[in-house]
Amino acid sequence: MRITAIACAVLFLLPYAGGMAQPRIEVLRWLDKSSPLLAFTMRAQPGLSDFDRDDIPDIVILSSAGVFTCTGVNGQLWEFDAGAAGLVDPQFLGFLRLTATSGPATHAAFIEQEALYLVMLNNKHPENTKFEFANTQRPHALGLRQRASGVDVAIVAANDRIAVIGAVAGVRGTVSPMKKQARPTITAYTLTEKFIAEAEEGLGYDPDLYPLAGEMDFDSDGIDDLGILISDTNGIPVGIAVHDGNSLDERWRWEIPAQYLERVMMGMHGFADVDGDGKKELYCGDNLVVFQDGTVREIRDNFRTRHLMDVDRDGLPDVIGRDLATGRLIALGTTTATAVENIPSAEAMHLLPAHPHPMISGSVISFSLDRPLSVRLAIHDMHGRRVRTLTDGIRDAGVHRFDFDGTDATGVPLPSGGYSIILTSATAQQRHGIIIIR
């Protein structure tokens, strides 16, 4: 265990070693879409604020002295004097991991005037890589975290182009294949009422604070994909292109029918397989659903979509919106019977009990996957708090074993008591209990 701890510490500190070479960073790809607008991307992008990659966003504070300080749950993580590094008026964008390590981020991204700066996170000798975008207002960067390969890229929209910037050696991530679409095609879009709220009841929380897991994940590989708005030469939107969040290859393109344009532009709610046919639909605008074959339908007469969430926890997301005829909040989804027939098999993942159990000094926690799947294995305390994440990301088919030493994310031993082991995928969750005895 001690050797493991030392190895982890070395891996964590490795990116900060003074001798670490700057990876060669280039514009890997230009995406010409005639519009710098993004139809959607990851919303709050907590990954870009996660310096130490403990799955908890960290806070970057700019002091009155012009020093950027990154603070996390473990205290101060990083300090950077932008002025000393030659940046005059930088706008912080996020942290990126541009080399394939299991450690924390390797670079910080700043926008200054017409340039993107990628600052290597080496306190002794910070090196800047500068990318200029002439004749533009401040380019806005929308980073994308490539979790499958462990390498991030910076996506910068400037003028009429979108640049994908990253380390040359790190661009070759795993390309997610499109899923086979052998499932039955829905011919009638009939959704069942899951619940109808009372007339005076509204949504009690802000849906933007509760995004549906994977709602921007078009191909269900656990990585949010990138939606780019395509405009014509007059700047009028004409379509949406979806690029895979991992390979950045275009996976789906939809030309917006003119009669729906105004309604589509009212907003994107995301992709979800509400009807349970195995293929996600795009929910957008006031009341529209777009199928992958390009078919557009209204979700329901006199309905206004609010957001997507699995309200009955049957493994399939539901559409929550307001019935304009009655004024009532309503949730629509497919029936359980249909859902069971069509959702990806829950048997795709199997969480095994920890052993030895009860745990005194350590236990092994295992799960198996029937196919590659994006999963998270975590330990929760009796209050529901996630105290330790053992793995999070795409894992290959097969058995995966993890040594759990009874410590939390910071390495502090957890107190005696009952805990939950929870294995979560985009559509399912399995759990076992574990007792720690000190």
Partner 1 sequence: MLKFIGSLLLLAVLLAARGLYGQPLTIEKTIDGMPQNARGMLATSLDSDERLDFNGDLVPERVFTVQDPAAGDYLRIVDGTDPSRDWIVRLEGDPDRPMIIGVHTLVGFYNIDGIVTKQNPKEMVFAKRVPAQNRYYSYRLEDVLISSYSAVGPSPRQPLGIIAILIGLFETDRDGKTEVMLVNPDTRQTEIWGAP
Contacting residues toward partner 1, per CB under 8 A:
38, 41, 43-46, 48-49, 55-64, 67-69, 71, 73, 91-94, 140, 142, 195, 197-198, 200-206, 208-213, 311, 313, 329, 380, 382-386, 408, 410, 412, 420, 422
As a dihedral over the C-alpha atoms of residue 24, residue 147, residue 271, residue 231, rounded to 10 degrees, the angle is 0
Please say which residue, 23 or 36, places its beta carbon nearer to partner 1.
Answer: 36
Q: How far is the CB of 108 from partner 1 (least distance, A)?
A: 10
> For 126-200, where are the alpha helices, taking DSSP H only?
none
Q: How far is the CB of 18 from partner 1 (least distance, A)?
A: 26
- DSSP-assigned states of every residue in 270-282: EEE--S-SSS-EE
Q: How far is the CB of 54 from partner 1 (least distance, A)?
A: 9
Please say which residue, 160 or 249, places its beta carbon nearer to partner 1.
Answer: 160
Q: How far is the CB of 119 from partner 1 (least distance, A)?
A: 14
As a dihedral over the C-alpha atoms of residue 93, residue 25, residue 132, residue 103, rounded to 10 degrees, the angle is 10
Please say which residue, 220 or 424, places its beta carbon nearer to partner 1.
Answer: 424
Please say which residue, 37 or 340, places its beta carbon nearer to partner 1.
Answer: 37
Please say which residue, 186 or 242, places its beta carbon nearer to partner 1.
Answer: 242
Tokens 């890997």 belong to which residue?
A: 28
Q: Compute CA distances 96 → 110, 170, 269, whole Å.
A: 11, 12, 27
Distant-in-sequence, close-in-space partners of 262: CB < 8 Å, separation ≥ 6: none
User: How far apart, in whole angstroms, are the C-alpha atoms of residue 285 and residue 287?
Assistant: 6
Please say which residue, 172 or 438, places its beta carbon nearer to partner 1.
Answer: 438
Distant-in-sequence, close-in-space partners of 310: CB < 8 Å, separation ≥ 6: 212, 316, 317, 318
Q: How far is the CB of 311 from partner 1 (least distance, A)?
A: 7
Question: Do residues 277 and 183 make contact, with C-beta atoms less than 8 angstroms apart?
Answer: yes
Q: How far is the CB of 397 from partner 1 (least distance, A)?
A: 25
